[in-house]
Structure 1
Amino acid sequence: MNLLEILAVGVVATAASDIWQQAQRPVTGIPAANWPVTGRWVLGWREGRFYDPMIGSRTRLKGEATVGWLFHYLIGVIYGGIYLYLAYAVFNTLPTLLNGLIFGLITLAAPFLLMKPALGGGLFGLKAPEPRKGLFLSISAHAVFGVGLYVGELLYRGLV
């Protein structure tokens, strides 16, 4: 495992999730994640606002879209590194479609238990205006992220 492998796996997986979010929208009507709002949330940390249920009504900040997208891909790369470490060093196995999918679903802990509550949506986003849509999008996007981890590894190895 090396930095290039981690970057490849994390970026491919995150891009797969983003592509899925755009592809499902015409069928389900569920909008993709709003990364500029995530950027506004991250920028608010400087002022001590980690819990920010009023984030949607706050004034837009300069650079929030860039910060949100960079944060999103940084998290994807970090997850890619954790996934590869677990596969290789802890479980002494190769990345597979199944362990990628399982890891992708495990990453739901962050939005369900941290991000959604911090933004006022409650645990699992159940206090959001349309919690079922949010649950579908989160679960499906993280499942696709997990598949993307495996595809990213295949691409890195030149097997695709």
Structure 2
Amino acid sequence: MFEFIFYAVLIGIGGTALLDLWAQLLKAVLGLPTPPWHLVGRWFAGMRNGRFVHHAGIGNSPPIANELKIGWTMHYLVGIVFAAILLLIWGVQWAHSPTFFAALVVGLVTVGAGWFILQPGMGVGIACNQAPNPAVARLQNVVGHVVFAIGMYATALLVG
């Protein structure tokens, strides 16, 4: 059990950290905004009060204390959970002999968590259909999760 938790934490953090570096690269090269982790924190924090959906958009909901810290924490915790799912499906031995295919499958499937849970909950609709440019948002989601998969795979190669 310790080995499972150890690898889930390391691989999840590694994949998430590469995703964050990717976001910084996109900001530096293309001027794209980084993800609004404070709003993600606001969404997660609102759940403890029973608010799971912000119909008018999360930006119109009142700020919550420490929402940025909550957002960053949940961002990394979700990455760890996704890595744990990978290890549950392919086994802890995957960390010792990783394949990119397994990481890619988990990376792509987890796009659905954003499209069907996070984004509707934050008020931008299913798969960002209410975003200013849904196609661009969806492309960024898919590419970001592929980058996350690369990060999980690379981390497993380094630590396994």
TM-score (norm 1): 0.89
Q: Does 1:75 align with 2:101?
A: no
* Equivalent residue, structure 1, for 2:34: 32
Q: State the partner residue of 1:117.
A: 120
What percent of counterpart residues are identical? 32
Report if aligned partners of 1:113, 1:123 keep a CA contact under 8 Å in 2: yes
**Counterpart code for 1:38:** V
Identify the residue that residue 12 of structure 2 maps to in structure 1.
10
Matched AA of 1:17: L
Whole-angstrom CA distance in 2 between matches of 1:137 and 1:18: 13
How far 1:126 sits from its partner (Å)? 1.4
In 2, the alpha carbon distance for the partners of 1:61 and 1:96 equals 41
SS of the equivalent of 2:98 reads coil
Alpha-carbon deviation of 1:131? 1.4
1:20 maps to which residue? 22
CA RMSD of aligned residues (A): 1.8
Gaps of 5+ in 1: none
**Counterpart of 1:48?**
50
- Pair 1:66-2:69 in alignment: yes
Deviation at 1:107, TM superposition (A): 0.6
- What amino acid sits opposite 2:32 in the alignment? I
TM-score scaled to structure 2, two decimals? 0.89
Could you tell me which residue of structure 1 aligns to residue 106 of structure 2? 103
| Cα deviation code 1:86-106 (max 9, x no counterpart) | 1127x9x94211221221111
2:132 to 129, 134, 138: 129
**TM-superposition CA deviations, 1:18-65 (whole Å, max 9, x none):** 111111123333212111101011111122110113310222221000
Q: What is the letter of the counterpart of residue 109 of structure 2? A: I
Give a deviation string over 1:68-98, Cα, whole Å, max 9, x none. 1101111100111110121127x9x942112
Give, in angstroms, the shift of residue 132 of structure 1. Answer: 2.5
What is the DSSP-based 3-state SS (H/G/I as helix, E as strand, rest coil) of the residue aligned with 1:151?
helix
| Number of residues of Structure 1 aligned to a counterpart in Structure 2 | 155
Amino acid in structure 2 at the alignment position of 1:146: A
Q: Deviation at 1:145?
A: 0.5
- Cα deviation, 1:129-152, whole Å, max 9, x if unaligned, reads 121231122111100001111111
Gaps of 5+ in 2: none
